[in-house]
Each structure stands twice: as C-alpha cells, then as structure tokens.
C-alpha cells in the first residue's frame, strides 16, 4: 500500500432510515361490509452499523464515501400486513477504529474485536396501523401512527493501530531497518530523515512458532506533542501498544538526553503512555567497542532495561526479541 493510501482520520455522515407509516384501512370483502380496521404497521428504518473487518488496516476506503444512508421502512398495508424493514447499511472498519462525536470530540465507541458490530445510527420505528387503536367506543379508527424519523449525524473516525510493540525514536534512528530485518514488512528505507511517512506493521517471529506484532511510526522530533514534524500525527498509533521500544542510535550526541526528549514528548501527548513497559534499544551499535558500550551503559537510567543492537550486522536481535517477549508475557 502506498503512503498516500494510508488514511487514519476521516469524517463521515450517517443517516438511518425513517420508519414506515402505519396503514389506515378498513376490512372489506364480499358479504362482510363492516370488517373493522386492519391497517398494518410500518416497517423499521434501516440501521447504520459499524462492523469490524480484519481485512482492512486503513480508513482509505471511506475517504471518498463520506455519506452513508440506510433505507426507509416500508408502509403498512391492509390485512395487518407489516411494511418491509429498511435495509441496514454496514460500514467496515479496521480493528482499532475510534469513533468521536464531531462537536464534543468525545469517544463514542471503539472497535477492537474481530466480528464486532455496533449500531451507529438506529433506524426509526415503524408507525402502528389503525387496528391497534380500535376501542369499544371507536370501532373504526381512521388514523394510524407515522413512522419515527431516523437519526443522522457527523462522526470522526480515527484509527489507532493494534500492535504489541511500538517503535519510538527520532527520524533516521533505524526503526524501519529493524522492522524490515526482524519481520517480513518492507518499509521504505533511505539515509535521510522522515523516510517513513506512514505507520508500518510487521509480525515478529519468535521461538516455538510464537509471534508478536510491531508497529513503526514516523520519527518524533522535539516539540512533536505541539505539532512539530509529522510524527505527532501518528502518536495515537502507539497508545494501545503493550511495550514501547525506544530506539536511539549509538552515534547520538547524548543517548540519555535523546531518550528523555522522546519520553517527554509522550508525557506531554498522553501521560498514561508512561505507564507502559519500556525498553531502550541502542541501534547501529556495530560501530561501538566494549569500552564505548561500557561508557554508554554507565550514563543510562538505572531502572531502564536496554539492549545494544545492529540491524545490518545482526547484533543483539535475539536478545532484543527475548526481552520484548518477556515484557509482553
């Protein structure tokens, strides 16, 4: 999928169907001149239903289909015949989709489980036919209920990728390279900043046929929580990750300071993200000897687990996967 096809934010309009009208009808047939009321009920209006579809991982298919309208219910008819229910409209979305009210921006619902279906706009109920209103004093009621109007509203759909491990780092820290080496994902890799312009997902194979999912988002720069760079647009994709893998290259001027800047951006974006398990991977460590590694280790935070890796030289990758698996389980 091209970068332009990755869409994780759309606005949609939903309109459920109006309920059908109840029928006003008096029964007539040969030899029965006063058969009484027999007008049927109106059918229910169609619902607009949000449905989880694991075959999607982006909201691109909704980018040019913003209006979703369900069918109106059919009117009731004679012989107490109920009108046809309006056809429901299903909106397929990937797992991890969040629905927000467009005015308050409050979360209305979240789609997180395969097969999950939620009614976003309920169809109006059909009106009752005149046979419901027959009484001892009114044997031939000549009125029925109209159908109830459907619901309509604008909503915001956001996508938060569902992954076990989220990669956090500055641009050109080697995140995409790591993903390409330990998974089958093929992210764009080049020797310049902001090579990654969209999130990438990959499945990491582990021992005994076990696996976990890793997500790479565009690099974060200082001030990302306030909107600088492009990484801030994708910070929500690591909100659901169980483990955050911070990546800082070995040639950074100050590895600890780089880590603290990244951590601070997450804190400003959402303080709850600091409750997640964290692991620091010092990438491009094939350029370090034992003495330099020792110097770096001394300066790292005491409570922070770390690992020295090199994706290109295949150094420390098994240790990295072991640590991640232990954290996930």
* Nearest-angstrom CA–CA distance, 112 and 109: 10
- Same domain? For 179 and 319 the reply is yes
Rounded distance between C-alpha atoms, residue 323 and residue 329, angstroms: 10
Same domain, 101 and 178: no
Same domain, 281 and 236: yes
Kindly state the average pLDDT of the residues 227-249.
74
173 and 151 share one domain: no
Q: Give the separation between CA 302 and CA 280, rounded to whole angstroms.
A: 12
266-282 residue pLDDT tens: 888 888 888 899 999 99
Examine the domain organization and report whether 318 and 187 are in the same domain: yes
Tokens 């565009």 sit at which residue? Answer: 218
Mean pLDDT of 167-171: 85
Q: How many residues appear in the chain?
A: 329
* Pair 243, 307: CB distance under 8 Å: no
Kindly state whether residues 4 and 116 are assigned to the same domain.
yes
Domain boundary among 117, 136, 159: 159
CATH number, domain of 306, equals 3.40.50.300
3 pLDDT above the threshold of 80? no
Q: Are residues 77 and 206 in the same domain?
A: no
Supply the pLDDT for residue 191. 43
Same domain, 128 and 170: no
Residues 208 and 237 in one domain: yes
Containing structural domain, residue 147: 1-159
Number of folded domains in the chain? 2
Kindly list the strands in the beta sheet with 117-121, ordered across the sheet, starting from the edge strand earlier in the chain.
89-93, 48-52, 117-121
d(CA 237, CA 235): 5
176 & 148 share domain: no
- Per-residue pLDDT band for 224 (boundaries 50, 70, 90) equals very low
Report the CATH number at residue 98.
2.70.210.12
Within 165-254, residue ranges assigned H as helices are: 175-182
With CA atoms as reference, report the closest residue to 20 among 141, 129, 146: 146
Burial of 111 (0-12, 13-18, 19+ CB in 10 A): buried
The residue from 134, 159, 184 where one domain ends is 159
| Mean pLDDT (whole number) for 97-108 | 91
pLDDT tens for each residue of 12-58: 999 999 999 999 998 887 777 777 899 999 999 999 999 999 888 78
The gap from C-alpha 172 to its chain's centroid, in whole angstroms, comes to 27
Q: Contacts from 110-115 at CB under 8 Å and sequence distance 24+?
A: 111/50, 111/52, 112/52, 112/162, 113/52, 114/52, 114/54, 115/52
Of 159, 180, 214, the position where a domain reaches its end is: 159
Cβ-Cβ contacts under 8 Å for 155 (sequence gap 6 or more): 11, 12, 13, 14, 99, 100, 101, 102, 108, 120
Residues 154 and 176 in one domain: no
């Amino acid at each position: 999928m091209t970068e332009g096809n990755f869409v994780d934010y759309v606005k949609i309009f939903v309109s459920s169907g109006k309920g059908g009208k109840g029928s006003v009808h008096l029964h007539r047939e040969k030899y029965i001149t006063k058969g009484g009321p027999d007008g049927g009920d109106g059918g229910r209006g169609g619902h607009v239903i949000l449905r989880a579809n694991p075959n999607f991982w982006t909201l691109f298919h909704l980018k040019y289909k913003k209006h979703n309208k369900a069918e109106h219910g059919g009117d009731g008819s004679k012989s107490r015949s109920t009108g046809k229910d309006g056809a429901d409209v299903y909106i397929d979305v990937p797992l991890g989709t969040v629905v927000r009210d467009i005015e308050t921006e409050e979360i209305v619902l979240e789609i997180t489980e395969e097969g999950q279906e939620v009614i976003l706009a309920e169809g109006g109920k059909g009106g009752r036919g005149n046979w419901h209103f027959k009484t001892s004093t009114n044997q031939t009621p000549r009125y029925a209920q109209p159908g109830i109007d459907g619901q309509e509203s604008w909503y915001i759909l956001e996508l938060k990728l569902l992954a076990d491990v989220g990669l956090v780092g500055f641009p050109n820290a080697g995140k995409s390279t790591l993903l390409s080496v330990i998974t089958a994902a093929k992210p764009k890799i080049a020797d310049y900043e902001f090579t990654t312009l969209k999130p990438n997902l990959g499945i990491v194979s582990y021992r005994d046929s076990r696996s976990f999912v890793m997500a790479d988002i565009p690099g974060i720069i200082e001030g990302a929580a306030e909107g600088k760079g492009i990484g801030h647009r994708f910070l929500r994709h690591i909100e659901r990750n169980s483990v955050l893998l911070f990546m800082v290259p070995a040639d950074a001027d100050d590895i600890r300071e780089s880590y603290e800047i990244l951590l601070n951006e997450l804190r400003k974006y959402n303080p709850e993200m600091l409750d997640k398990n964290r692991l620091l991977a010092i990438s491009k460590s094939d350029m370090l000897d034992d003495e330099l590694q020792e110097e770096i280790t001394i300066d790292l935070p005491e409570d922070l687990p770390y690992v020295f890796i090199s994706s290109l030289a295949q150094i420390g990758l098994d240790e990295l996967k072991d640590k991640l698996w232990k954290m996930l389980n």
